Amino acid sequence: MDLNGMSYDDIRQFEVVLSSASGEGLKVRFDLSKNLITWNDGYMWNNNFMRGISSEKLEYLKTELPKTGMLEWIVKYNSGNEDSIGHPTANPSIWQIRVLFENGETLTSTSCQHFPNDWNALKELIEKMTECSFRLR
């Protein structure tokens, strides 16, 4: 798996988008260089927020994010090996992840109707960090 020497410790920012076929959905961005979470709710604009990440939550995020396997399954999806790490679903939801590393490199992946087997681990981490439900209505 080629991450060009980059690791979870090199992540400066990552954004996870979950949307419907019509484009409505949720977007959360974790800016680890500024210790900020930005939440955009396409269903309820008044639910949008930006808040700081406490040092305790930041440490929790840095400890738990590698356990989700997010970088590993992004690489698998990008190389066309999505069936080895995920499964098709009848749910028409679309996910997209964009990761910005310290060296300026970006890793992006997306899929429609095909979710990683470990999606719930990432979803639960997002929910614990934001205290919001990360699922489409």
CA 99 to chain centre: 8
Q: Is the C-alpha dihedral spanning 62, 28, 108, 105 positive or negative?
A: negative
**The model's pTM:** 0.92
3-state SS assignment for residue 53:
coil
pLDDT at 2: 55
pLDDT in tens, 52-62: 999 999 999 99
Q: What is the pLDDT along the chain (137 residues), one digit of tens a residue?
A: 457 778 999 999 999 999 987 778 999 999 999 999 999 998 877 889 999 999 999 999 999 999 999 999 999 999 998 999 999 988 889 999 999 999 999 999 999 999 999 999 999 999 999 999 998 86
Contact 118, 102 (CB under 8 A): no
For residue 57, report the phi and psi dihedrals to the nearest 5 degrees: -70, -35
Task: Report, in this order, helix, strand and coil percent for the chain, each rounded to 5.
Answer: 30, 35, 35
